[in-house]
Structure 1
């Protein structure tokens, strides 16, 4: 792969997915796109670049983007964000939404489904407190391939052993050989939709809780700022945003601020515009 080929692929992936590649990631491009060359019967990565430029190979653009998208995930990943959901956020919104009895949750980088299914299991464990409530989990990802796996809810032994408590495995999964399928009840709780975060997502509506974990790290600073600004608009006034451990809103947007009591949790920033005029004048 020539330097010009690499630069073209960097620009292509940035435009299509927001992925910002640095020169040291060249090996990653070569290793992940070589199988795409074989699948589409292209002799070299330069040939793949040429085919992308012509734009006449059905499915090639999607295959390249999906090959370069990182889909690392597992059940109850990092544990803390799920303890936070169970112990802080769910009790908070059970009180705050007691009148409407409606809760909307968005997993904005759902990958193969372990994150939204982890939340669905926690919600089911709290079903007695949610009787009569309308609860929706919307799960999105740029990759249609991983979304199909998520919808099926079938995982191998290694996948169910990563982070999933044994009692939940026994309760919510059915074994078939070396495969485990999550119960229809839990699968039905999640609405999977394809979505590219760098594109407009206002049509999804407003959410009480948004999980957007470990995806912003792949974007450059302007793209991070843009996505965070639009995430803030998708949040209810008292909504909650959870980011990955290596992610922050500081220096990227003034629309969100950290929750000082809970690491990784962010809410809408309080602005002068939200303060009554008389109080603002006294400041």
Structure 2
């Protein structure tokens, strides 16, 4: 059992960056049990043997999906969304007024609540954004999560988590016991499956990257690699938004955190102080 679990940990780390603690064998057993039953495999050892035998890419993907944590909800932790509306977006509207184009990447979108929350904020500011092209790319490692995000259909429990009733009534329609987000918001987001261990070159340049609550599942070398790759894909005056429990400190010199506004990080340039830069706060 121990050797099988260690082999599974190594496979997960190699294919997805997930760093599963050595004490989490029970978690693997629990999450993979339905799969083992469906495949008529007696235990984890048999599943890992099949995974390592080659030619089972779909099964590996299914295992990664099962082991991926997709905990999320609308406007999660609220502060990053307030910072986006009050600080990041106004600054970008000023900085990009000549090109009138903004690109946003939600790098671990899970089942879509984060990019849809951003799309709602942008729609609320539609008057300011008239004539602008704002693109949201939302990616996740999990095929199941991305498919759910594309569908945009949420349970009563999911829409009650963080979503104000006014936005529920404005942007969703009820279908039986579930709620479907409207087509206008869906059309503003491109959902794709993407592995953060992959090459980022084809993604293009971004003005804002939301990478929240995913690096906590990676080991230090993987965190550094992801952050350094993101630094190459973000505009020199762009913004990296991370989770409340995450930091760039001690991981990369490519970004520096802002001293006052939690979750905001900016690319470090020759003119960027090591301990943060002032950001213009716009009331509203």
Same fold (TM > 0.5): yes
For 1:148, the equivalent position in structure 2 comes to 147
Q: Equivalent residue for 2:206?
A: 207
> Which residue is equivalent to 2:8?
9
Deviation at 1:41, TM superposition (A): 2.5
Structure-1-length-normalised TM-score? 0.94
Q: Does 1:89 align with 2:88?
A: yes
CA distance in structure 1 between the aligned counterparts of 2:271 and 2:152, rounded to whole angstroms: 46
The worse-fitting range, judged by mean Cα deviation, of 25-34 and 112-121 is 25-34
- Structure-2 separation of matches of 1:171 and 1:99: 32
2 CA distance for matches of 1:3 and 1:45?
10
1:65 and 1:146 map into 2 onto residues whose CA distance is 12
Partner Cα distance (1:14, 1:35) in 2 = 22
Work out the CA distance in 2 between the residues paired with 1:80 and 1:253: 23
Task: Name stretches of at least 5 consecutive residues in structure 1 with no aligned partner.
Answer: 274-283
Question: Following the alignment from structure 1 to structure 2, what is the Cα–Cα distance between the partners of residues 13 and 256?
Answer: 27
- The residue number in structure 1 matching 2:240 is 241
Deviations 1:63-107 (A, max 9, x none): 100000110000000000001111111111111111100000000
Counterpart of 2:105?
106
Following the alignment from structure 2 to structure 1, what is the Cα–Cα distance between the partners of residues 20 and 143? 22
1:35 is paired with a residue whose SS is helix
| Normalised TM-score (structure 2) | 0.94
Q: Which moved more, 1:40-49 or 1:10-19?
A: 40-49
Aligned to 2:172: 173
Report 1:1-283 matches (<5 A): 2-57=1-56, 59-271=58-270
Q: Is the 8 A contact 1:258 1:267 kept in 2?
A: yes
* DSSP 3-state at the match of 1:59: helix
SS of 1:251's equivalent?
Answer: coil
Whole-angstrom CA distance in 2 between matches of 1:211 and 1:49: 34
Q: Residues 84 and 154 from structure 1, CA distance in 2 versus in 1: closer, same or farther, beyond 3 angstroms?
A: same
Structure ranking higher on relative contact order (CA contacts 8 Å, 6+ apart): 2
Q: CA deviation at 1:261?
A: 2.2
Contact 1:40 1:60 in 2 (8 A): no
- Shift in Å at residue 272 of structure 1? 7.2
Deviations 1:186-227 (A, max 9, x none): 011000111000111121011000000000000011110110
* Residue correspondences, number: 273
User: SS where residue 137 of structure 2 aligns?
Assistant: strand
Q: CA RMSD of the aligned region, Å?
A: 1.4
Alpha-carbon separation, structure 1, partners of 2:175 and 2:6: 46
CA distance in 2 between partners of 1:198 and 1:83 (Å)? 30
Which sections of structure 2, spanning at least 5 residues, go unmatched?
273-284
Q: Post-superposition shift, 1:57?
A: 4.0
Between the aligned partners of 2:201 and 2:109, the Cα distance in structure 1 is 18
Q: Secondary structure of the residue that 2:163 maps to in structure 1?
A: coil
Q: Would the aligned equivalents of 2:6 and 2:22 in 1 still touch at CA under 8 Å?
A: no
SS state at 2:52 partner:
helix
